[in-house]
Amino acid sequence: MVKALSDTYLTFKTIFTGMGITLRHLFKRSVTVQYPRQRDVLPERVRLKLHVNIDDCIGCRLCERACPVECIDIGTIKSTDDDDLGETSTGHKKKLWVDQFDIDMAKCCYCELCVHPCPTDCITMVEDYEYSAYDRNDLILSFSDMSPEQIEEANRKLEKEAEEKRRKKEEAKLAKKKKAEAKAAAGDAAAAGDKPKDAATGGVAATDGKEAGSEKPETGAGAEASGDEDAEKAARRAEREARRAARRAEREAKKKSEE
Amino acid sequence: MQQFLESFLPAGPLVVFVFSIIPLMIILVYALFAIWLERKVAGHIQDRLGPMETGGWHGWAQTLADLVKMIQKEDIVPAKADRFLFKMAPFIAFAASYGAFVAIPFSSGYIGSMIDVGVFYIVAITSLLSVSIIMAGWASNNKWSLLGAMRTAAQTVSYEVPVVVTILSVIIVTGTLNLMEITEMQTGNAFLGFLPSWLIFHSPFMVIAFVLFFIASLAEAHRVPFDLPESESELVGGYQTEYSGMRWGLFMLTEYADMLLLSLVGATLFFGGWNSPFGSFMDGPVWGAFWMLLKGMVLVFVMMWLRWTLPRLRVDQLMNLCWKYLIPLSFVNLVLIALWEMIF
């Protein structure tokens, strides 16, 4: 009986305590943020989306190298001497066309490691978190502002310049050779006139010059190295182009299949 | 009321029809409002906002949108179900709770039927609800449904006893079963000069009677903490498991209609029904309907408030509470009220 009464008392006491708490909460300000219309104030250093100010990019690829998940894909073309790409806002001279600056936000792990190495502070985290997409490829952000025509133009110019340089080098070498030959000939003539011993050395020099001359038509040792580099770069570019084309084709195919 | 309707409608079946669907209109509008209110109360108690979008102002049209959605839904009947019983159950459930509104005096000018056994009739016809729930549970041919239905049967049979006994203790005071007469007895400010002469102020035991009645009516309406028949978290909705679309909607409507019914009965028996709390101020048939529904809604709100405060009881706790506490208490209270009536 006593237990029953004390139980009853306890029941009502706890119920009224609970009801008091719920009543207090009923009139408390709710914590809901009516999202599309209201937004939370974001912390100062949020890491939500990468943004590149392409005007400031010097194509140094430091960010690409810093990225632990390799989500940044940069392609550059050397600018020719007659092109002036200007300076970045931080005063760095721009020497490379940046024909590709793709960041795959689907791969990105938001570590912000790419932001700090940038010498011109052109890659930054911005406060945009509403960029979800239906297609994974739509999360690849392309920042390069170069049109395909411009890229082609830059490539062509570079090739032309390389050609020109090669030709100039050849010419220079040829001129050098001629000079040497002329010198040797002069030496020969002098030796013939002076000492037979000298003639022997002159002959050696002449053969040397001939050897150098025979090498030259094959673009010479130094030129050959730079040519290799060029080829490598061209291969890389081709590979990139192929990748891009494949991606584009894939995207289009997907779009078509969706339709 | 009937004369009023006859003054502008052709006499005959139409008047009777309009007369009899008035409670239905009240229930439907109330259900739309109450379901919205329930969501709002739930939301704000949990520091949320509840529906905010549909209809503009604080999501007032949310229930309307849900209703439209439910009407569009496919009417699914499980292959192994007893088709006839399965389809009938929601209608019987709603008919049971709607039928009880006949004896409720909504205002001094409107009561469905002036039957002399009013309260008794209400108690009797609401029992039909448990029949329909058992029908639904059995016909669904599903263990969750059947378990839920059996819990309902046990619960309803148990909790009808304290409900009836507390009502009986009120009847001792009033001497009549007719709810209209009970309400008329509570007109005026008799107690201590200023308190309205509602039965809750009649004696301290009436307060106890009301508390007991309210607890038992929560169980009758299958509301938390006594919502074991439905118990979404354990029984996947109990007897409602196999129902979808508008048939499920009818069960939902029944639940809310039942809440209103028991709140109105409570308001009539203890809080003076359609009587104004300010004596003759704001009195009359129209104000009467307003006060009646306001009192009902306050009790409905308390039910919602409790729902978001208390956890659900276990089956054994439910039976324990009923047979070991509520029934003995209500009987003792009955005797005390009878003694009070004899002495004063």
pLDDT at A255: 73
Q: Residue B68, class by beta-carbon neighbours within 10 Å (0-12 exposed, 13-18 middle, 19+ buried)?
A: exposed
Residues of A with CB under 8 A from a CB of B: 4, 7-8, 15, 18-19, 21-23, 25-32, 34
- Angstroms from A5 CA to nearest CA on chain B: 9
pLDDT at A215: 45
Helices (H), chain B: 2-6, 13-45, 62-72, 83-100, 118-140, 143-174, 179-185, 204-220, 232-235, 245-270, 285-307, 315-320, 327-343
User: Do residue B43 and residue A30 have CB atoms under 8 angstroms apart?
Assistant: yes
Name the residue among B52, B309, B325 with its Cβ closest to that of A19. B309
Low-confidence ranges of chain A (pLDDT < 70): 191-229, 258-259
- SS3 (DSSP) at B110: strand
Share of chain B above pLDDT 90, in %: 2
Closest-CA residue of chain A to B53: A34
Which residues of chain A make contact with B43, given a CB cutoff of 8 A?
30
pLDDT in tens, B224-260: 788 777 766 676 777 788 888 888 888 888 888 888 9
- Angstroms from A53 CA to nearest CA on chain B: 39
pLDDT in tens, B184-207: 888 776 666 667 778 887 888 888
pLDDT at A155: 85
pLDDT at B67: 87
Length of chain B: 344
Q: Is the pTM of this model over 0.90?
A: no
pLDDT in tens, B18-38: 888 888 888 889 888 888 988
User: Do residue B41 and residue A32 have CB atoms under 8 angstroms apart?
Assistant: no
What is the CATH T-level fold of the domain A49-146, as seen in this structure? Answer: Alpha-Beta Plaits (3.30.70)
Closest CA to A150 of A201, A79, A46, A102: A79
Closest CA to B199 of B215, B182, B214: B182
pLDDT at B275: 81
Residue B158 has pLDDT above 60, yes or no: yes
Closest-CA residue of chain B to A4: B325
Which residues of chain A make contact with B306, given a CB cutoff of 8 A?
15, 19
Give CA B116 to chain center in angstroms.
20
Domain boundaries, chain A: 49-146, 150-258
pLDDT at B176: 86
pLDDT band at B150 (very low <50, low <70, confident <90, very high): confident
pLDDT in tens, B251-304: 888 888 888 999 999 988 888 888 877 767 777 778 888 888 898 899 999 988
- Angstroms from B283 CA to nearest CA on chain A: 31
Which residues of chain B make contact with A27, given a CB cutoff of 8 A?
44
Q: How far apart are the first and last CA of chain B?
A: 38
User: Do residue A4 and residue B324 have CB atoms under 8 angstroms apart?
Assistant: yes
User: Do residue B309 and residue A27 have CB atoms under 8 angstroms apart?
Assistant: no
Name the residue among A4, A22, A30 with its Cβ closest to that of B49. A30
pLDDT at A185: 84
User: Do residue B305 and residue A22 have CB atoms under 8 angstroms apart?
Assistant: yes
Which residues of chain A make contact with B48, given a CB cutoff of 8 A?
30-32
- Angstroms from A40 CA to nearest CA on chain B: 16
What phi and psi, each to the nearest 5 degrees, are found at residue B105? -80, 100
pLDDT at A199: 46
pLDDT at B255: 86
Domain boundaries, chain B: 1-72, 75-343
Closest CA to B89 of B33, B136, B155: B136
User: Do residue A28 and residue B47 have CB atoms under 8 angstroms apart?
Assistant: yes
Closest-CA residue of chain A to B48: A30
pLDDT at A213: 46
* Residue A34: partners with Cβ closer than 8 Å, 6 or more residues away: B49, B52
Which residues of chain A make contact with B304, given a CB cutoff of 8 A?
none
User: Do residue A19 and residue B305 have CB atoms under 8 angstroms apart?
Assistant: yes
- Between A187-196, A212-221, B75-84, B129-138, the lowest mean confidence (pLDDT) is in A212-221
- Angstroms from A33 CA to nearest CA on chain B: 9
Q: Please identify among residues 42-61 of chain B the ones whose CB lies closer than 8 Å to any CB of chain A.
A: 43-49, 52
Tell me if chain A has a CB within 8 Å of the CB of B325.
yes
Q: What ipTM score was computed for the predicted complex, to two decimals?
A: 0.76
